[in-house]
Structures are given as structure tokens and as C-alpha cells.
């Protein structure tokens, strides 16, 4: 399928440039509304709309509301709410669709639209193609009597907070822990501190003063330096960093050590094993550190790799009937807790493991040492077909044979630049560097 607008996570771009313009977003909502009515065969399906804190969210929210209403679809406005909060409420309120206005970890100048099905899951390629087909059709504006209605749900944040708390063991508490929460001036600026506080933690916060322009700016999961500094200054036990729409997590401990998604995914799997709930398997991505695969295998836990993107991790989990998966960026999935990745719930799973075991994150990860990784970006000549380079293929095969189970090679093109990314992981940092340079040397560069 050649989709014109949808990418791996909805539709995203720079505000004021196609497709992130109010006229297109209105047409998009109208097209989605028509697809909904055809699929469900009912009048006035209900759609929930949530957003992060970007200044453009107001404009796009109004355009979506008008587009849906013009197709005879009712709208419930949730206001600022994390992406996984919209997914939860879509399912809890038995709505037909959930819509999120967010560009996740991007700067404020970007924005996007993503969708959740009635059960709170991301929609498949066929549905997105149906929407794109509907965009090419002539609009069928509803008459006055058939227009959709709009209303606000005033307690959306409170409902979501209670849901997050319900994923934490009832017999445990965060009492005694000092936690710094960094909400990236994003969608979780209210709900995240409240959730951890109501579970008993002593909470201080940064990144909770959104002004429409500062989302993800030098704070949050993509800029953890501010959190590390604050944790050390306040002598806190942990720091929780979320991104703009709060679906990813990075965690800092009292020493200022930063733990990424690969490490936290392994910790959650091991914590379940220790609690008598050993996972059948775990899904990572092509970028997941080899050490995670080796360590899980040593525990008799299966491991599979999906393409990069939490959407593909989710698809692989469903295909295998497994529950745990994630990415190094901090998108973590626990399908027995939520239908999508959730930074707050992921943090609670990690903290629950610490409280239950009486051990710190670092102690729980003593059995895992990430393999050193070397990444070399090679800028290729225009039109160069790297797949036909026999020297590259031979050198890659030689390195893979040399490393064996003690490492791996990943070669993939950039999706945005004329670059080929050569990545080598090995138990020894010098070996990773040496092997990566050998492979890169077989390529022409500009």
C-alpha cells in the first residue's frame, strides 16, 4: 500500500505545512467520520479527542471537531491528556474511536494526529488506507438535523489517574520513596505527579509549566539531563522522565544513572519471573541491545525482534500471544495492563518491582550488562545501491561469523537522509569499533 499521509504513527508534520493545516485536518476528520459510519452502520458514532500542550492543539482540535460534526459524528473533548489516557478512555467509554493531537517527542513547531480503535489499540494499515481513499471522495456534508454534537468530559484526567493507579499492586505503596517527575511540559504535566503522589511517594516535579511553545524543550525523556541534575540535587531515589505525550519512559536512579527502555523491559520481565509469572517471551526491535536477548535466553524466555516502532512491536505481540515488549527509546508494552505503551504505567511496573523485592533498579539489573555499540553513519552517493555491494555483504558475513553469539550487525538505511547506518554490537567495545569500521570501509562515501 502506498499511503500518502499516514506514517508509522498516524499523520505528523510541521504546523502550517500540508498536511498539518486546519483545512486538511477538517477534511481528514470528515473522511474518518464517513469511514466510521460505513463500518459501523450507525448514526452518530462517538469520537474522543485528546491533545498535548502545543499551542497548535487548539486550532487542530477545532478543525477535528468541525470535520467530525459535519459527517454526523459526535465528539467528546478531553483536553490535555496523555496518548495512553485517550486510548484507555476510548475503551472505557465505549466510544467508536479515539483521536490524539500530538507530535510526541518533537518540538512544538510540529504536530500530528493519531487514532485508536474502540478497544484502545492502534488501527491497522487497511483502515488507514480506507481513510485515505475517503479523502479523495467528494465531501458529503450532513444537514442541520444530522450534524454531530460536541461536549467536554470534565473529569477525564481523574479517570485516567485512577486507571494508572489500578495497575499498581493493591498491597504495595510508594511510601518512603522520593521521586522527581519530569513531564516535558507535555500532556502529563498534571496527571503524572498526582498519580505517584496518590500512591504514597514524596513527589517533586519539573517540566510541568507548559506555555504552548516549550514542550520537550530541554526536558523530558529525550533530554534527561535536567532530570539527572534535579535528582542529584534533591537526593531523590528516582527520577521519571516522560515525553510530550507520555507514552515513553526514561528512568534515573539516586546516583544519576540513566536506564533506557531495553534495561527496563528486561527488569519487568525478570520481576514477573521472580513473582511466579514468567513471560513466555518478550518482543524487542531491530535496535534492541543484543545483551537483552542473551540474558532472556539464559532464563528460558523467548525473544523476537520487530521492525522499529511500537506499532510493530504490538503487532508481533498479538501474533505470538505474548504480553511484554518495547524499544530502547522507552516505549514499553505490558498488554495485561494496557492496550498501548504508557510511560506512567511502565514506571509503576518498575517501581513495583523495586518495592516488592526491596532492591533498587541497579540491583535488579545486576544480571544484565548491555553490549557496547558502535554506530557509523555513511553518507552515500546519490542513487547508490548498497544492497548490490558484494564487498559489503562479504565483510558483514565475516564479522557476524567472528562475533557469533557474542554480538551482531545491523545495517539499515536512514528514513530521512541519504545515509546508511552501520551498527555493530559486541561484548568488547574495541571489537565493536573495529568491526564497524571494517564494514563501513567497503562503502563509498561523500
User: What are residue 241's DSSP bridge partners?
Assistant: 182, 250
Which burial class, exposed, middle or buried, applies to 24 when counting CB atoms under 10 A from its CB (0-12, 13-18, 19+)? buried
Cβ atoms of 21 and 62 within 8 Å: the answer is no
47-63 burial, b at 16+ Cβ within 10 Å, e below that, comes to bbbbbbbbebbebbbeb
Active site (annotated) includes residue 102: no
Cβ atoms of 271 and 357 within 8 Å: the answer is yes
Measured CA distances, 115 to 6, 24, 47, 97, 262 (Å): 11, 16, 10, 7, 26
Q: Which three cell numbers stand for residue 274?
A: 521472580
Rounded to whole angstroms, how far apart are CA atoms 112 and 414? 21
Q: Nearest Cα to 408, choosing from 384, 382, 438, 372?
A: 372
Measured CA distances, 203 to 106, 193, 198, 215 (Å): 26, 7, 10, 21
Rounded to whole angstroms, how far apart are CA atoms 238 and 271? 18
Q: What does the radius of gyration of the chain's CA atoms come to, in whole angstroms?
A: 23
Of 70, 104, 121, 329, which one is the catalytic site residue? 104
Cβ atoms of 328 and 256 within 8 Å: the answer is no
Catalytic residue numbers? Answer: 104
Amino acid at each position: 500500500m502506498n499511503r500518502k499521509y499516514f506514517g508509522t504513527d498516524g499523520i505528523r508534520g510541521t504546523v502550517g505545512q500540508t498536511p498539518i493545516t486546519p483545512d486538511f485536518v477538517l477534511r481528514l476528520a470528515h473522511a474518518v467520520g464517513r469511514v466510521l459510519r460505513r463500518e459501523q452502520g450507525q448514526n452518530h458514532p462517538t469520537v474522543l479527542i485528546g491533545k498535548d500542550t502545543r499551542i497548535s492543539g487548539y486550532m487542530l482540535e477545532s478543525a477535528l471537531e468541525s470535520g467530525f460534526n459535519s459527517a454526523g459524528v459526535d465528539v467528546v473533548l478531553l483536553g490535555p491528556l496523555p496518548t495512553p489516557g485517550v486510548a484507555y478512555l476510548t475503551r472505557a467509554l465505549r466510544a467508536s474511536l479515539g483521536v490524539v493531537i500530538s507530535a510526541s517527542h518533537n518540538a512544538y513547531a510540529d504536530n500530528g494526529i493519531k487514532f485508536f480503535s474502540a478497544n484502545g489499540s492502534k488501527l491497522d494499515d487497511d483502515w488507514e488506507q480506507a481513510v485515505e481513499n475517503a479523502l479523495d471522495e467528494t465531501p458529503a456534508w450532513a444537514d442541520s438535523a444530522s450534524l454531530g454534537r460536541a461536549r467536554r468530559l470534565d473529569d477525564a484526567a481523574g479517570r485516567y489517574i485512577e486507571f494508572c493507579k489500578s495497575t499498581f499492586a493493591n498491597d504495595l505503596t510508594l511510601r518512603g520513596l522520593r521521586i522527581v517527575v519530569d513531564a516535558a511540559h507535555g500532556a502529563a504535566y498534571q496527571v503524572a505527579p498526582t498519580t505517584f503522589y496518590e500512591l504514597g511517594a514524596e513527589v517533586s516535579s519539573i517540566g510541568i509549566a507548559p506555555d504552548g511553545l516549550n514542550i520537550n524543550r530541554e526536558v523530558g525523556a529525550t533530554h534527561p539531563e535536567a532530570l539527572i541534575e534535579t535528582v542529584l540535587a534533591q537526593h531523590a531515589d528516582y527520577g521519571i522522565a516522560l515525553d510530550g505525550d507520555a507514552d515513553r519512559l526514561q528512568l534515573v536512579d539516586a546516583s544519576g544513572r540513566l536506564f533506557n527502555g531495553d534495561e527496563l523491559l528486561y527488569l519487568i520481565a525478570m520481576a514477573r519471573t521472580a513473582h511466579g509469572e514468567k513471560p513466555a517471551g518478550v518482543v524487542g526491535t531491530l535496535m534492541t541491545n543484543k545483551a537483552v536477548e542473551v540474558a532472556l535466553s539464559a532464563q528460558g524466555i523467548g525473544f523476537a525482534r520487530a521492525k522499529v516502532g511500537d506499532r510493530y512491536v504490538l503487532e508481533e505481540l498479538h501474533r505470538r500471544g505474548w504480553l511484554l515488549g518495547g524499544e530502547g527509546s522507552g516505549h514499553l508494552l505490558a498488554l495485561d495492563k494496557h492496550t498501548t505503551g504508557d510511560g506512567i504505567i511502565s514506571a509503576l511496573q518498575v517501581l513495583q518491582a523495586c518495592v516488592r523485592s526491596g532492591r533498587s533498579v541497579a540491583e535488579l539489573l545486576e544480571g544484565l550488562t548491555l553490549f557496547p555499540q558502535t554506530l557509523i553513519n555513511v553518507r552515500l552517493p546519490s542513487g547508490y545501491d548498497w544492497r548490490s555491494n558484494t564487498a559489503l555483504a562479504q565483510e558483514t558475513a565475516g564479522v557476524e561469523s567472528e562475533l557469533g553469539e557474542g554480538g551482531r550487525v545491523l545495517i539499515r538505511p536512514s528514513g530521512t537522509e541519504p545515509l546508511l547506518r552501520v551498527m555493530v554490537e559486541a561484548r568488547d567495545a574495541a571489537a565493536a569499533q573495529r568491526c564497524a569500521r571494517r564494514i563501513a570501509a567497503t562503502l563509498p562515501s561523500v
